[in-house]
Amino acid sequence: MTPLAALTEGASFITVPVPLGDRAYDILVGRGLIETAGTRIARLGARAAAIVTDEHVGPLYAGLLAGALEAQGLRTSVVTLPPGEATKSYASLERVCDAVLAAKIERGDLVVALGGGVIGDLAGFAAAVARRGVRFVQVPTTLLSQVDSSVGGKTGINSRHGKNLVGAFHQPSLVLADTALLDTLPVREMRAGYAEVAKYGLIDDERFFSWCEANWQGVFAGGPERDEAVAQSCRAKAAVVVRDEHENGDRALLNLGHTFGHALERITAYDSARLVHGEGVAIGLALAFRFSAALGLCPPSDAERVEAHLSAAGLPTRLAHVPGGCGTVDDLLDAMAQDKKVKGGALTFILARGIGQSFIAPGIEADKVRSFLDSELDPSRS
């Protein structure tokens, strides 16, 4: 992977193709892309676009985007939802579908998701089911959504039984990841997204993880390293998704750090004041490597290297870092058992033999998880 040379604002960008046959699409990554969104989206040949956004992002960019689309002759409407995870609800799904149908979006037209992961997941799901499927475009506005939720076609809402338990696989027609939009992102959100960036190195690309160790400050600062990190993350995720679009096999590797991470999110009641997804993933990544080391699968030095890098980037890496605590071992085990990556009742983990050497480990025995978590909760370690 060669770091990109000079990126001029709006003039240059990286294209990451996602070759999914008749569902193939491009992810464009670069600074200032939103300013050219009108012509790029108009090339898809739609007559109308329903923009879905939230109350944080909408006031900043929805007018700009709508104007750019209208200048290209697209009939445009905007539906604005409250920000936050609670928006991934049945009620919001109904609201967005109704708005899409009221805007007379036909099968060749577009839903445009302008926002972070919540908006992308919700708008994508609405696009998947309105008229049994209309096309959609993602304009992700957070680092997390640029490197994760906007790639791969997973859409959905939350259920009272858990996150993302109701949804569809629906690939976008185009993703515009404007990295300049991240300049105003709170640093906590940058860090949370960065946990997913680092994850791609940890899964199967030790070179990218080393690059991250050397270049992470540039990613945060908004230099060309940011574009390269976003593009490389999208390439990595796209490669996995192309191998396994519907998560019957390899795609589970993308859940490295997520079995623990989701459990922590559940225990903290999805209260973003305590823990956001990326922070849960950071702790989960560190735990997955320490668990792998504890099982004798992975050198302890690799687990230490993972923790050191995530800590350097300002991310939490230990159960004790969860504000308000994370309950008992039983609480954690219960929360993990509710994860949807359960098959035949056995817990599946993503473990690693080293940095860049992760693998799917089904049927991990509960007593091994328990004794590992006991040691992690031991106050002498935290």
**56 among known catalytic residues:** no
User: Is there binding between residue 130 and its own copies (CB under 8 A)?
Assistant: yes
CB-wise, 50 or 315, nearer to its own copies?
Answer: 50
Q: How far apart are CA 16 and CA 19, in angstroms?
A: 9
Is-catalytic flag, 305?
A: no
Asked if 362 interacts with its own copies (CB under 8 A), we say no
For position 344 contacting its own copies by CB under 8 A, the verdict is yes
Q: Is 381 in the site for its own copies (CB under 8 A)?
A: no
What's the DSSP call for residue 23?
G
Q: CA-CA distance, 168 to 163, in Å (whole number)?
A: 13
- Under DSSP, is residue 26 helix (H, G, I), strand (E, B) or coil? strand
In whole angstroms, the minimum distance from the beta carbon of 342 to its own copies comes to 6
User: Which residue number, 102 or 221, has a Cβ lying nearer to its own copies?
Assistant: 102
Note if 132 is an active site residue: yes
- In the residue annotation, 237 being an active-site residue is answered as yes
From the list 59, 244, 206, the residue with the least C-alpha distance to 141 is 59
Among positions 129, 239, 295, 320, the unique one binding its own copies when judged by CB under 8 A: 129
Site string for its own copies, 224-263 (x = CB under 8 A): ----------------------xx----------------
Helix (H, G, I), strand (E, B) or coil at 76: strand
Q: Which residue lies nearer to its own copies by CB, 43 or 340?
A: 340
Of the two residues 207 and 340, which places its CB atom closer to its own copies in the complex?
340
Residues near its own copies (CB under 8 A), total: 35
Query: Which run of H or E residues covers position 352?
Result: strand 346-352
If one asks whether residue 324 binds its own copies (CB under 8 A), the answer comes out as: no
Q: Which of 88, 199, 237, 318 is catalytic?
A: 237
Q: Do 177 and 207 touch, CB atoms closer than 8 A?
A: no
368-to-284, 293, 320, 349, 365 alpha-carbon distances in Å: 16, 12, 20, 12, 6
142-181 residues in contact with its own copies (CB under 8 A) are 154, 156, 159-162, 165-169
Q: Which of 154, 226, 266, 309 is catalytic?
A: 154
Question: Which of 20, 42, 44, 101 is close enough to bind its own copies by CB under 8 A?
Answer: 101
C-beta pairs of 153-156 under 8 Å, 24+ apart in sequence: 153/20, 153/23, 153/124, 153/241, 153/245, 154/121, 155/120, 155/121, 155/122, 155/123, 155/124, 155/125, 155/127, 155/128, 156/88, 156/121, 156/125
Annotated binding site for NAD(+): 117-121, 141-142, 154, 163
Residue of the chain from 19, 39, 131, 221 that contacts its own copies (CB under 8 A): 131
Instruction: Report 34-53 residues binding its own copies (CB under 8 A).
Output: 47
CA dihedral 327, 87, 166, 140 (to 10 degrees): -100
Residue 228, Cβ neighbours under 10 Å: how many?
23
Minimum distance from residue 248 beta carbon to its own copies (Å): 8
Instruction: Residue 312: name the closest of 166, 207, 198, 160 by CA.
Output: 198
Binding its own copies (rule: CB under 8 A), the pick from 9, 94, 330, 378 is: 94
* Residue whose token pair is 């690693």: 352
154 given a catalytic annotation: yes
Nearer to its own copies, 266 or 274 (CB): 266
One of 55, 70, 106, 183 touching its own copies (CB under 8 A)? 106
Distance, in Å, from the CA atom of 241 to the CA atom of 149, rounded to the nearest integer, reads 12
The CA distance from 79 to 96, in Å, is 7
Of 100-108, 182-190, 197-205, 252-260, which segment contacts its own copies by CB under 8 A?
100-108
Whether 251 is catalytic: yes
Which residue of 102, 187, 221, 308 would you call a contact of its own copies, by CB under 8 A? 102
d(CA 264, CA 89) in angstroms, rounded, equals 21
| Residue 207 in contact with its own copies, rule: CB under 8 A | no
Residues 6 or more apart whose Cβ sits within 8 Å of residue 323: 268, 273, 274, 275
Through-space distance between the first and last CA atoms of the chain, rounded to whole angstroms: 37
User: Would you name the residues annotated as active-site residues?
Assistant: 132, 154, 196, 237, 247, 251, 255, 258, 262, 277
- Where do contacts with its own copies occur on this chain (CB under 8 A)? 47, 90, 93-94, 97-98, 101-102, 106-108, 125, 128-133, 154, 156, 159-162, 165-169, 246-247, 340, 342-344
